[in-house]
Amino acid sequence: MSLTPAERERYSRQLAVPGIGLRGQAKLKNASVLVVGAGGLGSVVAAYLAAAGVGRLGFADPGLLELSNLNRQVFYRTRDVGRAKVALLAAFLKKLNPASRLEPFRLKMDSENLVPILKTYKLVVDCTDNFEARFEMNKACFRARRILVHGAVYGFEGQLAVLDPRGGPCLRCAFPQTPPPIKGFTSVPGPVPGVLGAMQAAEVVKLICGLPSHSGRLTIFDIAVGATHFVRLKKRRNCPVCGGR
């Protein structure tokens, strides 16, 4: 697949990156990615992927924009409070890169609708804000055999993992039990989901271009102290999601 002169100009800075080049850019153009959640993480991931030239980009979120979202969800505007996030994000992304085919889903992803939707995409990015959705998505991705790029934030901390159903561990292998729910809301300073969302988008770009990825590792970003910690994930033999497969 060849690029038009305008595309060569638009992507010139990443075409020069070893490992991406023309071949990688063509792979990005042919790629399809589903971003679940259009909040602090999801909006950043979707923006970077559209800008990078991902050909088909789906994003799902049932929510409306709230004033309390605006400390971290920087692609939305104050006057848009009360409007559906996916519609706002679609409008922003269309202006950012008209070549990207956008597929907004204004719905809550659950066990029933998740598998048929994510089967039509090659990669899935988890940007939801609760454990129930995260573990549901983990299950669905392993059932549909789609790579899941997991990212989550809490305060000045973030966790990132690439979970590959082709022999790799799943989210349940890393966290066999869901912790008790946090009272109230999760505290999140604005830049933290920005960092994690950008990291998730970088992992997606690497996966699409066939560059070495983060697979099988969980990384903890401790932004409070400026440190990173890697955890080697292992498949649990008795894992109810991927055990034995």
Q: Which residues bind other proteins (CB under 8 A)?
A: 37, 39-42, 126-131, 134, 151-159, 171, 174-180, 182, 186, 188, 193, 220, 222, 224-225, 229-234
Instruction: Considering the complex, state which of residue 42 and residue 165 has its C-beta at the smaller distance from other proteins.
Output: 42
Q: Which is nearer to other proteins, 15 or 188 (CB)?
A: 188
Could you tell me the two tokens for 26?
A: 């063509």
Nearest in space to 1 (alpha carbons), one of 25, 35, 37:
25
Report in angstroms the alpha-carbon separations of 234 from 49, 137, 139, 160, 164: 29, 19, 17, 15, 12
Least distance in angstroms from the C-beta of 180 to other proteins: 8
Residue closer to other proteins, measured from CB, 128 or 215: 128
CB 33 within 8 A of CB 123: yes
- Pick 5 or 184: Cβ nearer other proteins: 184
Here the tokens at position 121 are: 């995409």
CB of 10 to other proteins, least distance (A): 29
Find all residues with CB under 8 Å of 67, minimum gap 6, and list them. Answer: 78, 81
In whole angstroms, the minimum distance from the beta carbon of 78 to other proteins comes to: 21
- Shortest distance, CB of residue 233 to other proteins, whole angstroms? 7
- CA 162 remoteness from chain centre: 10
